[in-house]
Amino acid sequence: MISPIAAAFLLLVAFAIHGTEQKNRGCSRLIHDVHLNRLLDLVDSQMMKPSCELSFEYVDERELDDPKCFLRAAYSPLRNILESIEFKQNTPNSDTMKEVKDWHIEVGDCMEINSSDEEESKHCTRPFSRTARQMLKLVHEYFSKAKEILSKGNFSHDCSSVFEKCSDSKGKSTTSPDKHSEKPEARNTQGMAVTYVVVPSVLGILLAVGGLLFYFHKSRMLARRRLQRNERNLERQEGRPLNRREGDLESQIQEEEL
């Protein structure tokens, strides 16, 4: 027979596995070709002059040489790009742009990109100058890469070593002493983020298991007390008639002797 603790633990594991499978299935189908085609239509709709360029911070994928780390490093700069792009309200372009921003949020959720990734990867950005059309092409390339990675189903990836190379290369090109002092802070931030996520989860599991243990312990104690009470009542009910019969028999013997 399975103990209550094992049953509770198996139930928690089953819920976790089911949730992970559901998430992986949804993430692998997040971006389709029809979405990318709509984004291409948005690129083609740009009528700005090629000579008009915009300056922004972004990540060069060739410098990272790792598609998953590129998606993580470019996630925050891409958000800034999307926020800077505006279209006339209630037009097809503005509706498409809203959807693109939603995709961006969902990609971050699927890949579990957190503040530690953004902090560690900030050394991988560099200044870019592009026209609005070219800038939207970078957006299209990002989501095309995201579609390719998410369709494979394996989203977790440790990019610490890749991001450290960005920090080292930037530290060599600049003489600022603050560059070296930021790496331990990023690691501390990562450790704090893990602590904030893990500790409440562990406490929640311990509280759930403790509650189940207390409930089963209390139920057993109450059942034991009821059983003892019933046994005592039975003993009393059986003892009273027996004493009466013994008393009647003694009185009859005394009367016969007299």
Q: Which residues contact 30 (CB under 8 A, 6 or more apart)?
A: 103, 106, 107, 110, 146, 147, 150
Burial of 207 (0-12, 13-18, 19+ CB in 10 A): exposed
pLDDT tens digits along 161-201? 999 988 877 666 544 434 444 444 445 555 555 555 555 66
pLDDT tens digits along 59-71? 999 999 899 999 9
Question: What's the CA dihedral at 222, 223, 225, 228 to 10 degrees?
Answer: 180
DSSP E strands, the chain: 54-59, 125-130
Say what the pLDDT of residue 167 is.
80
What's the average model confidence in pLDDT over 231-238?
A: 59
pLDDT tens digits along 125-169? 999 999 989 999 999 999 999 999 998 876 678 899 999 988 877
pLDDT tens digits along 74-121? 999 999 999 998 888 999 999 999 999 999 999 999 999 988 888 999
Specify which residues 126 forms β-bridges with.
Answer: 58
The pair phi, psi for residue 50, each rounded to 5°, is: -60, -25
For residue 19, what is the DSSP state?
H
Cα radius of gyration rounded to whole Å, the chain = 35
Cα dihedral sign, 85-114-140-19: negative
Give the predicted TM-score (pTM) of the model.
0.57
Say what the pLDDT of residue 26 is.
72
How far is residue 143 CA from its own chain's centroid?
Answer: 21
